[in-house]
Amino acid sequence: MPKRSETNITSRAAETSPPGLMWDREVSGFGLRTLSSGARTWLFKYRALDGGQHWHRIGTFPAMTVDDARKEARALRTAVDKGKDPSKEREEEREAARAARAAAVEKLAESYAKALPGRPSLRGSGAISAEHAAAEAAAVRNAIARMKLEGRPVSAIAPADVLGLLHLEAARPATARMLFGAFGRFLEWCRDAGHLTSNPCDAIPRAKRPKPPPARRRVVALPDLARLWIASDVLPAPLGELARLLIALPVRRGEGARLAWQDVDLTAGVWTLPGAITKNGDPHRIALHPLARALLHARHKAMGKPTSGLAFPSPRASNEVTAWTGMKADMGEAAGFRAWTWHDFRRSFASLMAERGVAEPVADAVLNHRQSGTRGGVLGVYQHAQRWPEQKAAMEKWGAALAVVIAAAQRKRNGSHPRLLKQTSSTPQKMLSRRTDRSLARASLSMRAVLP
């Protein structure tokens, strides 16, 4: 323990102190350290119960006056005399603060975003896709911003915060459900990581949780599909052909955008989708009816007959197409028909082909729905037949039905707007469309016999 000085430290003495240590007479262990640079620091020196000697920094002079520093030193001396260790307590406080900062909700959201790509898929096998991971992380960030939780420790989140989010999004039930689900999964991850003891989303009564949207039931009639097929002419190449492919083949839009030439056998009329691009991760085969084959032949020829690479790359970046909203808006305006989505085409195939005698298991197989996902019981567990011949027959029927209505719509358009067609037929998109249309006309005549 340092010896006490003969006098107390005063403001004048602190201002004029030379480099070195000056001790106070009134409070044992209280002193002022002066550096050669002129910086002055208030210190408290003590010996802890473990025998170790410690230096505790109180503050700086003149920011902290002599009286305030002595008062703080006296409180520390009392704590030491009672067996406490001020330096250890300060380090514990700093560690708690660091842990609180690390457990701040936005910091955990960043860690969650990094962990998401490896998370198992909620549907099917394997991990979630990169697109799903990005969308989930964005939804969590959106929910945090809407609730103004930035800087708060995740442990401080209460059910009232989540209810506030649902109230803010009451006018947008689909958005509320999406944010609630994403934020709840994030808090579940926080709980598993030890940052929470319970998930506040679990405390929300079911009656107050966002209701699931009504089941999508929209089916686009064949004549409307023909209108959209023709309206795809307004899109630049190859977006127009990609839109037509999604009408011709009941695949998901992301699968269509990822169609690669190495996966297509135009001679055999088969497109083999690798598991990496399908929603359920299972490889899948699609039989190409004459209408789809004619479209792909024209596209293949226009690209110089490549053996690999995307068939419908983005016209600007040459990578996967993502401009679905703009494409839909332009097609809807040109067709005068806006009440549709890309996914409606798949539902239209299943519904319209069911009316033409295609069995439900066959339609499910064409759509690449897992048997266990669409049927329960023993049948769902044990029935995994692909029924390829029936799939091919179903696709022939679908292509024939489309070919007839599209050919009729094109004849009507050609008769109504011959001058317009003559003026616009020189663009690459229109030239490709005309080649496809000629193949379509031949397909229409040869496929009428397939229709019931």
Separation CA 199–CA 196 (nearest Å): 7
Inter-CA distances, 56 with 82, 87, 98, 181, Å: 17, 6, 20, 49
Find the angle CA(270)-CA(443)-CA(248) to the nearest 5 degrees.
Answer: 50
Separation CA 255–CA 261 (nearest Å): 13
Contact 143, 134 (CB under 8 A): no
In angstroms and rounded to an integer, the radius of gyration of the C-alpha atoms of the chain is 36
Residues recorded for the chain = 452
Does any domain span residue 421?
A: yes
Residues 116 and 80 reside in one and the same domain: no
Task: Encode pLDDT of 205-228 as tens digits.
Answer: 999 998 887 766 789 999 999 999
Side-by-side strand order, sheet with 284-287: 264-265, 270-273, 284-287
Residue type, 236: P
Candidates 244, 298, 309, 241; CA nearest to 266 is 298
Residues 76 and 136 reside in one and the same domain: no
pLDDT in the model for residue 165:
93
pLDDT in the model for residue 450:
37
Separation CA 292–CA 414 (nearest Å): 22
Instruction: Name the domain count of the chain.
Output: 3
Q: Is 332 helix (H, G, I), strand (E, B) or coil?
A: helix
**Residue-wise pLDDT tens for the chain (452 aa)?**
444 556 788 999 999 999 999 999 888 889 999 999 999 999 999 888 777 788 888 999 999 999 999 999 999 888 888 888 887 777 766 665 555 555 688 888 988 998 888 777 665 556 677 778 889 999 999 999 999 988 788 888 999 999 999 999 998 888 999 999 999 999 999 999 888 889 999 999 999 998 887 766 789 999 999 999 999 999 999 999 999 999 999 999 999 999 999 999 999 999 999 998 998 888 999 999 999 999 999 999 999 999 999 999 999 878 899 999 999 999 999 999 998 999 999 999 999 999 999 999 999 999 998 764 444 444 444 444 578 999 999 999 999 999 999 999 988 887 754 333 333 333 444 444 555 555 555 544 444 433 33
Rounded-to-5 percentages of helix, strand, coil across the chain: 55, 10, 35
Residues 126 and 232 reside in one and the same domain: no
Residues 124 and 65 reside in one and the same domain: no
Does any domain span residue 1?
A: no
Residues 142 and 269 reside in one and the same domain: no
pLDDT in the model for residue 81:
84
Residues 357 and 426 reside in one and the same domain: yes
Q: Where are the alpha helices (DSSP H) in 260-370?
A: 290-302, 324-335, 344-354, 360-367
Q: What is the CATH number of the domain that holds 367?
A: 1.10.443.10
pLDDT in the model for residue 212:
81
pLDDT in the model for residue 417:
46
Residues 184 and 266 reside in one and the same domain: no
pTM of the model: 0.57
Separation CA 5–CA 319 (nearest Å): 79
DSSP secondary structure of 153-168: BGGG--HHHHHHHHHH
Does any domain span residue 214?
A: no
Quote the tokens at residue 182: 């994403």
pLDDT in the model for residue 139:
94
With the C-alpha atoms ordered 8, 9, 11, 13, is the resulting torsion angle positive or negative? positive
Separation CA 67–CA 56 (nearest Å): 17
What DSSP designation does 435 have? H
Which residues neighbour 10 within 8 Å (Cβ) at sequence distance 6 or greater? 66
Q: Which helix (H) or strand (E) holds 86?
A: helix 86-102
Residues 115 and 264 reside in one and the same domain: no
Structural domain for 125, as ranges: 103-208
- DSSP E strands: which ranges in 36-84? 40-47, 53-61
Residues 203 and 315 reside in one and the same domain: no
pLDDT in the model for residue 122:
61
Task: Encode pLDDT of 421-446 as tens digits.
Answer: 333 333 444 444 555 555 555 544 44
Residue type, 181: G
pLDDT in the model for residue 437:
53
Residue type, 47: R
Contact 401, 358 (CB under 8 A): no
Among the candidates 153, 175, 208, a domain finishes at 208
DSSP secondary structure of 358-423: --HHHHHHHHT--HHHH--HHHHHH-----HHHHHHHHHHHHHHHHHHHHHHHHHHHHH-HHHHHH
pLDDT in the model for residue 104:
82
Residues 264 and 321 reside in one and the same domain: yes
Does any domain span residue 166?
A: yes
Residues 203 and 228 reside in one and the same domain: no
Among the candidates 208, 239, 262, a domain finishes at 208
Contact 119, 128 (CB under 8 A): yes
Does any domain span residue 49?
A: yes
Residues 295 and 391 reside in one and the same domain: yes
pLDDT in the model for residue 395:
96
Q: What is the CATH number of the domain that holds 57?
A: 3.30.160.390
Q: Is 284 helix (H, G, I), strand (E, B) or coil?
A: strand
pLDDT in the model for residue 268:
95
Among the candidates 64, 88, 112, a domain finishes at 88
